[in-house]
Amino acid sequence: MRTGVVIFFILITLKVSGQTDSTAGRNDTISGRVYLLQSVERDGVSLPEIQIKEVTVTGNRATSRKSFIRKYDRLIYNLKRVYPYAIIVRAKLEQVNEEMAEMKNERERKQYIKEVEKNIFGEYEDDMRDMTITQGRLLIKLIDRETQNTSYELIKQYRGGITAAFWQGIARIFGTNLKEDYDPFGADFMIELILQDIEAGRL
The confidence score (pLDDT) of residue 54 equals 64
pTM metric for this prediction:
0.64
Query: Is 60 exceeded by the pLDDT of residue 10?
Result: no
Say if CB 81 and CB 135 are below 8 A apart.
yes
- For the beta carbon of residue 159, count every other beta carbon within 10 angstroms: 19
- The pLDDT value given to residue 53: 61
131 neighbors 82 (Cβ within 8 angstroms): yes
Q: What is the mean pLDDT of the chain?
A: 76
Which of 148, 81, 118 has the alpha carbon at shortest distance from 1? 118
Residues 8-13 have a mean pLDDT of 43
- What percent of the residues of the chain are helix, what percent strand, and what percent coil, each to the nearest 5? 60, 5, 35
- pLDDT, residue 48, reads 73
pLDDT band at 75 (very low <50, low <70, confident <90, very high): very high
Q: Which residues pair with 41 in a beta bridge?
A: 46
Residues 85-136 pLDDT 10s: 999 888 888 888 888 888 888 888 888 888 887 787 788 878 878 888 888 8
